[in-house]
Structure 1
Amino acid sequence: MARNVAVLIGNGLSVAFNAELNLQQITQEVLERIRRLDGDDVVTAMKELAARALPDGANTDEDFEVLVGALGAESRTLEVLNRLAQLTNPKDEELRDCIRKVASFAEQVCDSGISHVLQVITERSHAYQDTAQNLNSLVASLTDAFDGKVVLANLNYDTLLLSALLNVCQSDLADMGHGRKQASVILDDNQTREVQQLRAFADDFPQEKRVQLLHLHGSLTFWATRDRTTFVKIPKNLLEDGEQWHAVRNRTTNIRPAVVLANRKDKVEHVTRQPFALAYNMYTVGLKGAKHWLIVGYSFRDDPVNERLRTEFLDRTTKPKVLVVTYGADPERRTVERAFGWGVEDGPSDWLTINRGGANGAEKTQEWGSFIETSKQGLPRLGAES
């Protein structure tokens, strides 16, 4: 019988294979770039938002969420204003025009802020030769050990994991880019280009591809038309020279990034929209179909993600075998147990193993070997696990 695994990847994996993707460093670099900007009212508004959000700079990884939450907050303003413009009495064209101008300004501030964040990540989204080989080794160990479905839910915006998967198992891989459907978009050079659309339905994923890569919160390469009716995947090489990010800020492209860059509260709403809703739903299917769950570099601070894990975990009589790979003392075991809905009254969490040595080299550890071995032998029922 084929063995399936559901995998959740957080920022800790990216940092393990490229320290430049540390969230605190990214946040500090974005703050510095915004502070150095000269320009119009949009720039002034961005500076004000950044200064209010983090007046003392970036001191922890959590500050990344604070900054993007502040910069992305204008998206909520935009939605309210668009609704107001639609509700305004048609005879009051002057009021309607004013609302639309404010909505356009809010959209520019939001797009400009997000473009700076993603441009920094794009510039750092690479793996050096030795660490790339190590990441390839981790991915190969995982895909070799599980001969059934390997469903990877990635919370990172960078392309490190995708690159490793392409190197290791390209013929078995399906990501969210639709290989057979394309759309025309206008990029930074004012040229119309044909690029892949994103998959819209679960049936768009080919059944013969056993490895699925799902970006729960989007990717550098995920873009959408401004009316969010068309979602596309842009090749990363078209983003590396920085011109497309300038085009977003200058409004000379007809697409904008499709990512969840928001604080914890707003993420709950954002992930109900496409393409994120599809990714979450397919990850849930992956959880349901797997007796083994691997979680790498995740802080257990995303409420929508925790809710999916907890709901499926609590629904099971026989619990999945869970391996959490982290670096250092955070998160504590109790934090992980709480995320899964496991209380003190439930007894020892024999289903849970935590490897605190980090993702780089995790496939060589005893915890990994035990996790892989149980995948081959099958799991006893809860209470009989050692």
Structure 2
Amino acid sequence: MYDNFSGDFEAFSNSWWPYFIAMFIGIISAIRFYVGGAQCPKSHRMDGKIVIITGGASGLGFETAKNLAARGAHVVLAVRNEERGKRAQKELKKLYTNASIDVKLLDISSVASIRSFAHDIQTSYPKVDVLINNAAVIYQPFIKTPEGNELTLATNYLGPFLLTHLLLPLLNKSLNGRIINVSAMAHYSGKLRLDDLNMEKDYNEKDAFSQSKLALTIFTKYLATLLDNTRIHCNSVSPGLVRGTNHLENLPLQRSLWTKVSVWPWMWLFLKNPIQGCQSIVYLAVEPNLSNISGYYFSDCEIKEPADPVKDATLAQALYDRTSDMVNIAGRRIIEELKAKESQHAVNESGDNEDNF
């Protein structure tokens, strides 16, 4: 029996099969390595930094929270489901015993919830160092929020727009406030319907998502120009195509067991996992060399060229004004007041220095 096994093994080892198997494993490994993208350096610490992550209970948000908690950040999980938020908090505390992890309720699609959340943050924390607008939905049927806005637009764009403005005063109290808007590769195919942002005339699930991410990316670049000469910087980022997130639950391919089983091997091979997907988000939050970089679009920890509409200043201004009306906030006035306070603070400091001299 041993002789038979030995003979079979010798025949196998002398054949081409070991080379084919090794080559197959090598190709798979190379694809996974390439798809994984760039990794954020692990050395940068975030001790004493307060970071808010919307959608922080699962997927990209949770992996981002985990990474930042490991670096010493005080992480605030802004979640729609309190039970899931508490579960995420418990898991993070188990991993990092001394981590500061808070859970706050937020429905980013609801104007009322956003205003309530912002008030809670303003009364609970002395500053906000990093705001990560991560929460998003995809492939939703046409649903209107209580305020009358289409759900995908409200969640992916209008909500982050409003929340960002409400937290600007706290972000300005940080020495280097950072706003990170999680966009998507889909923004390249987006078409902005400025006269019908809610897509009431001709709704399409895919178009609604790509438009919302395009709008968010346009907003990011325009906000950076408005915040020029302040301590706040904002950038957008695409995590790439990521599996293991709630997004995939709503894809057409996921609506039957057969297609789920059929596409899973390809998704495993060609899509990032959440740990890989969060790397560029974390990079924007922790990289010291980005302290004065604002208005850019990142992917794989590098600046990339965004879609052409993002660079259209006239379109950006029109979108900004239209959005301000939709969420009922005077965005420009908030920024002007913030700049005026900063200028007055600089004058007072200058006067104090002269007196000391």
Between Structure 1 and Structure 2, which shows a larger proportion of helix residues?
Answer: 2
Between Structure 1 and Structure 2, which shows a larger proportion of strand residues?
Answer: 1
Higher relative contact order (CA 8 A, sep 6+): 1
Shared fold (TM-score, shorter chain, > 0.5): no
Quickly name the TM-score band, shorter chain normalised. 0.3 to 0.5
Normalising by structure 2, report the TM-score.
0.37
Normalising by structure 1, report the TM-score.
0.34
Kindly name which structure, 1 or 2, has the bigger radius of gyration based on alpha carbons. 2
